[in-house]
Amino acid sequence: MKDKELIEKAIEASKRAYAPYSNFQVGAALQLKNGEIIQGCNVENASYGLTNCAERTALFAAIARGEKNFTRLAIYVDRPAFTAPCGACRQVILELAPKVEIILVNNRGETRKTSIKELLPLSFGSEDLES
Ligand code: THU
């Protein structure tokens, strides 16, 4: 599948964001190894700290479906700047999808590809608990 299809899914997901407080609508599209796509959007709450980001919504939905193998994660916001995952989401991506290719997408149709290695260097993860 081409990037374009995954990006379209992230754009579609952003339109479902529940973001009445920030008005910052984020969409995520997570591709499974078998090609399927799981979408996520941010879900806010009047108790602001309970907000769930689009990336975590997609990853948690995937885990709840029993999926474990992810290839690409596209993240879209309707802005000219690229929006990268927040710190909390980076830690969750490290835990659940450390090898995923992260594709940031802006509203000019441009992309920037990155990885959790680049976004979260010198990280603390599950391996650190082993020894
Ligand atoms: N947000 C995401 O969903 N993903 C990101 O990568 C950055 C931030 C959400 C959280 C909140 O609903 C809104 O964007 C503003 O921070």
pLDDT digits (tens, 9 = 90+) for 16-70: 999 999 999 999 999 999 999 999 999 999 999 999 999 999 999 999 999 999 9
Rounded mean pLDDT, 82-91: 98
Which positions are annotated as active-site residues?
55
Q: How far is the CA of 89 from the centre of ligand 1 (A)?
A: 10
Give me Rg for the CA atoms of the chain.
14
- State in Å: Cα 87 to ligand 1 middle: 11
Q: What is the DSSP string of 66-81?
A: T---EEEEEEEESSSS
**Residue at token pair 């479902």:** 16
Query: pTM above 0.95?
Result: yes
pLDDT of residue 2: 86
Query: Helix-strand-coil percent breakdown of the chain, rounded to 5?
Result: 35, 25, 40
Could you read off the pLDDT of 87-109 as tens digits, one per residue?
A: 999 999 999 999 999 999 999 99
Alpha carbon distance, N-terminus to C-terminus of the chain: 40
What's the rounded Cα separation, in Å, for the pair 78 and 10? 11
